[in-house]
Structure 1
């Protein structure tokens, strides 16, 4: 009989899969991406418009254009993570290059006395890049055995045993589909040699013990994430009279996210039967999302602009696939057949991120420059994982409502023009999405840039950097001491705009 190497549908609960509060925060958060001019001013464009990425702040912004144009932007993204775990420190840096913005706008003059012009814009922005790496080491008193013990507690030992003529990988998939994720992890811990039942002769046994002996254990953990949340915007806007701009956008998201985590342990007590363990996990999420936005910009006199916009909830339709590998000195001989080729496929689910409101103010100093300010608010406690009728999703939604809170975002940008040369700078602040303010800290960032107008075209360069602290548990249970991580994200962008 051929060994199993296939996909299998898991009807597992949200609690133990990737479908949890972490996903809500991940897909509700957009980084500072877009055109180089937009990034140089920290995205403070809600009352300005006149930039393709300004559609992210206010869809009325395309009506500010006086002529059609095309813009393309490429970026170098540098992620640095400084991690502290049980007094051990590690720094990890990764660089990535992306084409993070591409779009154009068409402007049509109107013969209507009220509607001066109408614009039609199409733009792609990488709302967020997921490329990142973190390396963590430490001498911990919480080994991976606790992870498996927590899942195994209460699971009948008989449910974990192989059936006649059943392969190990077949049982792994079947247990996940029939019983759920907790039973599947208990199975993995038992055949991985990490845990044993208290009474191996009793199929009704529900208590388990660890095979690892240690006061502290050396742990090395590596996590790599890749992928993107790309957003394509179709926009229609118009200028009504001399002082009012109105617009609406349809936003289509494309999501690809992969996370690889690898844990190794050694340094157990001398009398421990287990001397080495390894536990690897691979998650792949893909899907799409949809949202819409409405906005307006008004002129108040010659120098003042005000703007307001509404960003609807984003509805993401996602699917997850997971794979695992485990090994130890006491593992079953066939444990290697459970590997990344044996894939758990979860049912599709929906994440609904909260709506966002933005108010904006800008002061224009004629042809010399401008200062712009945006304020946004988003109540993260309103996020949902659906279907809400699923008991596990209902439990997770209660956690979301309790642990997440309102997010205020402030963006300030300015531009000073010297003939064809433009100098730009900006600052942004984003409140933690967590009510405690500690799980993920507040984000602070600054930016600067320069642009040169050739007449029919423009070249822009920007640099932005943002810093944010967060606390991360290596696993969802069994290892409660978090890693303290400081993330610094630095982005260099170069953009080219062609007028037509």
Structure 2
């Protein structure tokens, strides 16, 4: 069936899922991704360089290369999610979901111009880099189920109170699509939710004969409810980088990045509820929501590396905030079933297209130290800091994000990241290992826990080529709220485990 397209103007919508803290964080954080060598050391490359993905941390790393170099990386990731259902009364329903995906997550090249006199002062080497790095893998899947005393009817009742009955009642000859579109254009996303709930008989007006009625009750009787929540997301975030670096006076390296970012995120959620409660006119509810997000942004980085001695290197870098421009589309479908009256389905063939908004992510500061043991091996440490309370949303279309920005300021804080890595060589062979710790950006780390990870890897060099492989493992706990910011506050506690095999082929030229 041909779909109608709806463009909504000025919005103030707490239930547009991409415009909440959780999703603002998704576009503000970067995972440890990139080449196998980089991942094998858990990304601790801020004072080292000499790897294309090291430019993510410190752009001065390009000038450490002795010759032009290119690489391409392929990763296979497995995701395990252990979910425990929670409704603030019960804590029940354990389930495990496993999924996997394959991505080309890095490619690029560094071109070295090394024709300066190495004995002279000033610039000894110039580097020019063009790279692509995946910065986040948005693929995820979970299924959570359990029994609750809270019904999804509270989601629709909360929005309905104060809404006139005649606003959400179809006129003679008016279709579901037409009224859903009209409400989106004139009243916004919240009014659409009230219409869906009323049209499927979840909620009913206290006075059906009064078109100005503004109070509603539920057709779902209280009691116990069997509930399931399914979540699946796909997509990646990434950036293309133009890098310029230089070696100065033999012992200093300087670099600068211009980054072009992109966001691709698609999510579908399905919530199912069933009851056999006495007096309940609605016995089943299935609510499906789809969200599609795309965005583009830009940022800049600057950094330096100093050879303090043959054994010691220090690095420092700064990444500016990223200014993302984001667009979103949603579709919805609501289905109910009554043991007495049968099935009701509302499936608006309408895509809600929301106005573009701007997301400014935090700046990042990194300090690094590396100890080199001649050509035998090295140990490296990076420390990074981001103030997530500085995340800001804004719009050129008059959207008011003041409440959300205030929530971000209240609930988020500055967070630290520590990465430790080591590499040891024997002839053409290298072995690597690393550990990473990322502090939760939430003041209440029950919402999102600290992230811990470790990695191992190996590499082999032959003639002009180098082949590297790495395995890394990351775990983190989070709360997955089914309908954020609503009075229906059921959620799942999810323990997420990701392990990745990464393969990189590099070549000197």
- Is the deviation greater in 138-147 or in 37-46? 138-147
Would you say how many aligned residue pairs link Structure 1 and Structure 2? 497
Distance, in Å, in 2 between the alignment partners of 1:334 and 1:317 is 41
Deviation at 1:5, TM superposition (A): 2.4
Find the counterpart in structure 2 of residue 96 from structure 1.
Answer: 101
The answer to whether the 8 A contact 1:94-1:132 is kept is yes
The answer to whether the 8 A contact 1:137-1:218 is kept is yes
> 5+ residue gaps in structure 1?
none
Q: 1:108 aligns with which of 101, 107, 113?
A: 113
The answer to whether the 8 A contact 1:388-1:394 is kept is no
Distance, in Å, in 2 between the alignment partners of 1:149 and 1:123 is 51
Q: Give secondary structure in 2 for the equivalent of 1:87.
A: strand
The answer to whether the 8 A contact 1:191-1:332 is kept is no
- Is the deviation greater in 23-32 or in 156-165? 156-165
Q: Deviations over 1:116-156 (max 9, x none)?
A: 01001111111011111010101011111111111112212
The answer to whether the 8 A contact 2:41-2:423 is kept is yes
The answer to whether the 8 A contact 1:169-1:337 is kept is no
Distance, in Å, in 1 between the alignment partners of 2:317 and 2:80 is 33
Q: Give secondary structure in 2 for the equivalent of 1:284.
A: strand
Runs of 4+ displaced beyond 4 Å: 330-337, 388-391
Find the counterpart in structure 1 of residue 14 from structure 2.
Answer: 15
Deviation at 1:259, TM superposition (A): 0.5
TM-score (norm 1): 0.96
Q: How does 1:190-229 map to 2 (within 5 A)?
A: 190-229=198-237
Distance, in Å, in 1 between the alignment partners of 2:396 and 2:295 is 19
Q: Give secondary structure in 2 for the equivalent of 1:22.
A: helix
The answer to whether the 8 A contact 1:213-1:268 is kept is no
Find the counterpart in structure 1 of residue 88 from structure 2.
Answer: none
Distance, in Å, in 2 between the alignment partners of 1:262 and 1:470 is 19
Cα RMSD (Å):
1.7
Find the counterpart in structure 2 of residue 32 from structure 1.
Answer: 32
Deviation at 1:270, TM superposition (A): 4.0
Deviation at 1:271, TM superposition (A): 3.1
Distance, in Å, in 2 between the alignment partners of 1:163 and 1:63 is 69
Find the counterpart in structure 1 of residue 64 from structure 2.
Answer: 64
Distance, in Å, in 1 between the alignment partners of 2:295 and 2:343 is 34
> 5+ residue gaps in structure 2?
86-90
Distance, in Å, in 2 between the alignment partners of 1:111 and 1:51 is 22
TM-score (norm 2): 0.95
The answer to whether the 8 A contact 1:107-1:117 is kept is yes
Q: 2:449 aligns with which of 431, 435, 441?
A: 441
Deviation at 1:334, TM superposition (A): 11
Aligned pair 1:394/2:399, yes or no? no
Distance, in Å, in 2 between the alignment partners of 1:125 and 1:380 is 22
Q: 1:478 aligns with which of 478, 482, 487?
A: 487
Deviation at 1:199, TM superposition (A): 1.3
Q: How does 1:84-483 map to 2 (within 5 A)?
A: 84-85=84-85, 86-111=91-116, 113=120, 114-329=122-337, 336=345, 338-339=347-348, 341-387=349-395, 390=398, 392-476=400-484, 477-483=486-492
The answer to whether the 8 A contact 1:214-1:268 is kept is no
Distance, in Å, in 2 between the alignment partners of 1:14 and 1:59 is 39
Q: Give secondary structure in 1 for the equivalent of 2:19.
A: coil
Distance, in Å, in 2 between the alignment partners of 1:194 and 1:268 is 15
Deviation at 1:82, TM superposition (A): 0.4
Q: Give secondary structure in 2 for the equivalent of 1:16.
A: coil
